[in-house]
Amino acid sequence: MTLDQTLLQACSRLGLKVPSPSKPVGVYRPMVVSGNFAYLSGQLSKDADGKLMVGKVGKDLTVEEGKKAAQLAALQATSLIHGEVGLDRVEQVVRLVGFVQSAENFYGQSDVINGASEFIVEILGEKGRHARTSIGVVSLPLNAAVELELTLRLR
């Protein structure tokens, strides 16, 4: 079974639709491949129908809801890779930065971003196990709860 099939199966099991990659809302690219590296544009917490999970975690959303938002953003990321180069070309997800739209006194960003890391490792296995930085920020585009930035090594 290819990793791309793994993605489809996992989504089916989780009741998630595989989204079409988001179109950039400006003169940038969803993903740049250069040498052995691929750089993804920021992926928001959005489902396959384009519906965003919005709000600040710790105020409008619980940790569990934030985790779900992080999973959706990770699904956006993996779907983008699936559509652009195919998941089987990934040698390693080397780096993930997770930005969580956070209440001023919310400090559970690691718990929230686990929702993204767990999804990516479920699909890609060891190749998905990344270095990670979790950050709480005051606001994100379109009021999204979570935004992810990923860098990949390709084979």
Q: Which positions touch a copy of itself (CB under 8 A)?
A: 24-32, 34-37, 39-42, 91-92, 94-97, 99, 102-110, 113-114, 117-118, 121, 129-143, 147, 149, 151, 153
Amino acid, single-letter form, for residue 59? K
Does residue 53 contact residue 45 with C-beta atoms inside 8 Å?
yes
Distance CA 147, CA 102 (A): 12
Does residue 154 contact residue 127 with C-beta atoms inside 8 Å?
no
Q: In the complex with a copy of itself, which residue's Cβ is closer, 17 or 36? A: 36
Q: In the complex with a copy of itself, which residue's Cβ is closer, 17 or 97? A: 97
> CB of residue 110 vs a copy of itself: minimum separation in angstroms?
5
> CB of residue 147 vs a copy of itself: minimum separation in angstroms?
7
CA distances from 123 to 10, 62, 150 (A): 7, 25, 15
Q: In the complex with a copy of itself, which residue's Cβ is closer, 19 or 136? A: 136
For 50, counting Cβ atoms within 10 Å of its Cβ (0-12 exposed, 13-18 middle, 19+ buried), the class is exposed
Q: In the complex with a copy of itself, which residue's Cβ is closer, 84 or 88? A: 84
146-154/90-101 β-pairing: antiparallel
Cross-strand bridge partners of residue 134: 98
> CB of residue 74 vs a copy of itself: minimum separation in angstroms?
12
> CB of residue 11 vs a copy of itself: minimum separation in angstroms?
19
Q: In the complex with a copy of itself, which residue's Cβ is closer, 17 or 29? A: 29
> CB of residue 47 vs a copy of itself: minimum separation in angstroms?
18
Please count the residues of the chain: 155
